[in-house]
């Protein structure tokens, strides 16, 4: 077999090589990475719940009650009371008849798209949709096309000849690398007109957007009729792990029968479901976390624009600074690292060519002082390495 080394070496040369860092200690803004203290701005723990004492305690109690592993898939004997109660609470939280837990968001998206669609059906996704939606589209055997970011007009043309099969349109609610919101009103109207189903992956909206943290759909005032399929993940604002799909009785029953990434995998540890029940109540009740986050977002954007940094049109905790080449993004990331600040450089293929960026993410767990420290470091960096 041909050696793997040349391709790895090429990756290194074009600044696309990825490596992992070893993090020790508690999840939160103050990190210990590769043995060094760092201030992190790259976590998706937007509300600061990953290390919350009540969430930790719930996980410990869950492990003591149920054991660590779930033992089997949900359809065998892995579906615990903790899973079941969490599903009911998520259905209530999202205002939908049913919710179904998946082991990860990646698997939820694969399961929904490939479980609902097959040969003869059509699937459309935004060009900037998460990789798991794209992979779901490829796996489904449906006809699959990606429309230019937010281009409702073109999507409308593509939806025109209706045909016989099912038509599913999927979009991120908040785009994970840009932080902007999908044009959900327009998409919902279009899908209603063309009799297509709309699916929203709200991995970065749930917990963060809307007064009660119900995400993009709360922000836009959309319900199960306009958006029949809602996917949420639990590893981001909820601070735990896993994902869910929420929708009608028929949708959830269909997924239980047909979603292979639901059927053929071990259920989440029940203790994780218990921890998520605790974090869900914090998400719902502690509105101050969202308010604090909004305040920090404003603080960061004001400071960054004073520094002349190119911000994107994002009102979410995802605040990318697009610098261009992968090389430059790496240089900026290393420059911040020298100041003890960790912000990850996002490069192709995660983002399009020449739009490499620093992906700054803010959390309610950050202090104002920490955000000012980031701005200070960015200011120094800009002097040394102008855009």
Residue 345 is encoded by which pair of tokens?
A: 């450089």
The distance of closest approach from Cβ of residue 285 to ligand PLP in the complex, given in angstroms and rounded to an integer, is 23
| Cross-strand pairs, 324 | 356
| Cross-strand pairs, 138 | none
- One of 111, 235, 247, 317 touching ligand PLP (CB under 6 A): 235
User: Residue 243 interacts with ligand PLP (CB under 6 A)?
Assistant: yes
The distance of closest approach from Cβ of residue 113 to ligand PLP in the complex, given in angstroms and rounded to an integer, is 12
| Cross-strand pairs, 30 | 39
Q: Of 63-71, 101-109, 220-228, 297-305, which segment contacts ligand PLP by CB under 6 A? A: 101-109
Cβ 215 vs Cβ 207: under 8 Å: yes
Q: Which is nearer to ligand PLP, 203 or 381 (CB)?
A: 203
* Alpha-carbon separation of residue 123 from 126, 127, 159, 249, 342 (angstroms): 10, 12, 10, 22, 37
The residue annotated as part of the active site, out of 43, 114, 176, 261, is 176
User: Residue 267 interacts with ligand PLP (CB under 6 A)?
Assistant: no
Residue 115 is encoded by which pair of tokens?
A: 């479980």
Q: Which is nearer to ligand PLP, 102 or 381 (CB)?
A: 102
The residue annotated as part of the active site, out of 52, 74, 130, 236, is 236
What single string gives the DSSP state of each residue in 291-341? HHHHHHHHHHHHHHHHTT--B-S--SSEEEEEEESHHHHHHHHHHHHHTTE
Does residue 236 carry a catalytic annotation? yes
User: Residue 359 interacts with ligand PLP (CB under 6 A)?
Assistant: no
- Computed over its alpha carbons, how large is the radius of gyration of the chain? 21
Does residue 176 carry a catalytic annotation? yes
Q: Which residue lies nearest ligand PLP, judged by its C-beta? A: 105
Give the 3-state secondary structure of 195-206.
CCEEEEECCCCC
- One of 132, 261, 355, 363 touching ligand PLP (CB under 6 A): 132
The distance of closest approach from Cβ of residue 1 to ligand PLP in the complex, given in angstroms and rounded to an integer, is 31
Sort strands 30-33 and 36-40 into parallel, antiparallel or unpaired.
Answer: antiparallel
Q: Which is nearer to ligand PLP, 176 or 274 (CB)?
A: 176
The residue annotated as part of the active site, out of 204, 292, 328, 366, is 204
Q: Which is nearer to ligand PLP, 101 or 375 (CB)?
A: 101
The residues near 76 (Cβ < 8 Å, ≥ 6 apart) are: none
Task: Give yes or no for a cis peptide into 91 (omega within 30° of 0).
Answer: no
Report the C-alpha dihedral over residues 322, 324, 310, 186, rounded to 10 degrees: -60
Give the 3-state secondary structure of 37-60.
EEEECCCCCCCCCCCCHHHHHHHH
Does residue 114 carry a catalytic annotation? no
Contact string 184-203 vs ligand PLP (x = CB under 6 A) = -----------------x-x
- One of 70, 114, 233, 355 touching ligand PLP (CB under 6 A): 233
User: Residue 104 interacts with ligand PLP (CB under 6 A)?
Assistant: yes
User: Residue 204 interacts with ligand PLP (CB under 6 A)?
Assistant: yes
The distance of closest approach from Cβ of residue 8 to ligand PLP in the complex, given in angstroms and rounded to an integer, is 25
- One of 79, 130, 289, 328 touching ligand PLP (CB under 6 A): 130
Q: How many residues bind ligand PLP (CB under 6 A)?
A: 14
- One of 46, 106, 147, 238 touching ligand PLP (CB under 6 A): 106
| Cross-strand pairs, 171 | 200
User: Residue 179 interacts with ligand PLP (CB under 6 A)?
Assistant: no
Q: Which is nearer to ligand PLP, 204 or 328 (CB)?
A: 204
* Alpha-carbon separation of residue 209 from 129, 180, 321 (angstroms): 19, 12, 21
List, by residue number, the catalytic residues: 176, 204, 236
Binding site for ligand PLP (CB under 6 A): 104-106, 109, 130, 132, 172, 176, 201, 203-204, 233, 235, 243
């Amino acid at each position: 077999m041909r050696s793997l080394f040349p391709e790895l070496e090429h990756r290194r040369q074009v600044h696309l090589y990825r490596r992992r860092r070893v993090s020790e200690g508690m999840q939160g803004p103050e990190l210990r990475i590769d043995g060094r203290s760092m201030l992190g701005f790259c976590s998706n723990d937007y509300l600061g719940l990953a290390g919350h004492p009540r969430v930790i305690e719930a996980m410990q109690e869950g492990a003591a009650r149920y054991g660590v592993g779930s033992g089997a898939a949900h359809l065998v004997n892995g579906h615990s009371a903790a899973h079941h109660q969490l599903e009911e609470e998520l259905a209530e939280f999202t205002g939908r008849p049913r919710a179904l837990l998946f082991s990860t968001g990646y698997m939820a998206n694969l399961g929904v798209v490939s479980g609902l669609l097959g040969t003869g059906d059509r699937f459309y996704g935004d060009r900037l949709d998460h990789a798991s939606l794209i992979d779901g589209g490829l796996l489904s055997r449906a006809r699959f096309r990606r429309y230019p970011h937010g281009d409702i007009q073109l999507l409308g043309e593509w939806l025109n000849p209706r045909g016989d099969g099912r038509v599913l349109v999927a979009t991120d609610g908040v785009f994970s690398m840009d932080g902007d919101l999908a044009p959900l009103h327009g998409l919902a109207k279009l899908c209603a007109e063309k009799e297509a189903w709309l699916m929203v992956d709200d991995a970065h909206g749930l917990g963060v957007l809307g007064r009660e943290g119900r995400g993009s759909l709360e922000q836009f005032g959309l319900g199960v009729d306009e958006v029949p399929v809602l996917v949420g993940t639990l590893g981001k604002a909820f601070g735990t792990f896993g994902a869910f799909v929420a929708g009608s009785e028929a949708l959830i029953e269909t997924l239980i029968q047909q979603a292979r990434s639901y059927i053929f995998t071990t259920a989440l540890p029940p203790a994780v479901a218990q921890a998520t029940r605790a974090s869900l109540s914090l998400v719902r009740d502690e509105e101050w976390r969202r308010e604090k986050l909004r305040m920090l977002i404003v603080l960061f954007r004001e400071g960054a624009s004073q520094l002349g940094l190119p911000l994107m049109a994002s009102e979410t905790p995802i605040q990318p600074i697009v610098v261009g080449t992968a090389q430059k993004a790496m240089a900026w990331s290393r420059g911040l690292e020298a100041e003890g600040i960790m912000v990850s450089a996002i490069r192709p293929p995660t983002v399009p060519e020449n739009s490499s960026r620093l992906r700054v993410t803010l959390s309610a767990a950050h202090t104002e002082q920490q955000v000012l420290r980031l701005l200070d470091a960015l200011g120094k960096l800009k002097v040394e390495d102008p855009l």
